Amino acid sequence: MSDLLDGRTAVVTGAAQGIGLAIATVLADHGARVTIADLDGDKAAAAAAGIGENARGVACDVTDEASVAALVRDAVDAYGGLDVLVNNAGITRDASLKKMTLENFQAVITVHLQGTWLGIRAASEVMREARRGSIINISSMSGKVGNPGQTNYSAAKAGIVGMTKAAAKELAHHGVRVNAIQPGLIRTPMTEAMSAEAYAATEATIPMRRAGEPDEIANVVAFLASDLSSYMTGAVLEVSGGRGM
């Protein structure tokens, strides 16, 4: 426990499990009051209960404009403000170009890109008024190097980088910082669904020769959320064990 984020309030989307839950937990450990948002409201509430009194869980569909607006409004009502937003919610619908359906292409683009944009827009409205705030978007190394079978996911994650930089330029003079993180291969339920062969092949491309842990992403989020990164905006931090260098 530290006081790095003492008195700060945060919202993390897609936070009922995996990297999102690790982010919410680490932010709370550093003193933040955290709203865990997830499409599955029951899982979000259970995750918040596991963290303790500094967390609350709510249902949110990040692709729905009204749902995202309500998420931000309710977090402000509950905690008195919004200092940090982590746009983490995401899905995969992997398939080759030949086999991918338009529906699965659009689903991934909508969750990642539209979801992140709605989050940035709703949070920045509050943060502009306060003249402070940190927005952290979770991209992926897939958005830098591309992955076969992930034309939808790689495009969406690359788009998040462009969106981060555009929003950072737009919001900087309001005191609001916008940065992105590109995780590499991280041990999560999503990556555990990969075939053993695909997992091993990806791991072999990492100079550090191992997958990362969710906390290793969450710790970088805590840094970007805090005043330790007060002169950083529009940055894209690769947290990938050296993959993609």
Helix (H) or strand (E) holding 75: helix 65-79
Q: Is the pTM higher than 0.75?
A: yes
CA–CA separation, 196 and 187 (whole Å): 13
Tell me: the pLDDT tens digits for 143-180?
999 999 999 999 999 999 999 999 999 999 999 999 99
pLDDT tens column, 208-226: 999 999 999 999 999 999 9
Burial of 33 (C-beta count, 10 Å sphere; 0-12/13-18/19+): buried
- Reference 83, options 26, 143, 136; nearest CA is 136
Task: Tell me yes or no: is domain 9-239 CATH 3.40.50.720.
Answer: yes
Predicted local distance difference test score (pLDDT) of residue 191? 83
Mean pLDDT of 52-64: 98
> In what order do the strands lie in the sheet containing 9-13?
55-59, 33-38, 9-13, 84-87, 133-138, 176-183, 236-239
Cα–Cα distance measured from residue 117 to residue 176, given in angstroms and rounded to the nearest whole number: 15
Active site residues: 153
Q: Residue 80 pLDDT more than 90?
A: yes
The enclosing H or E element of 106 equals: helix 102-109
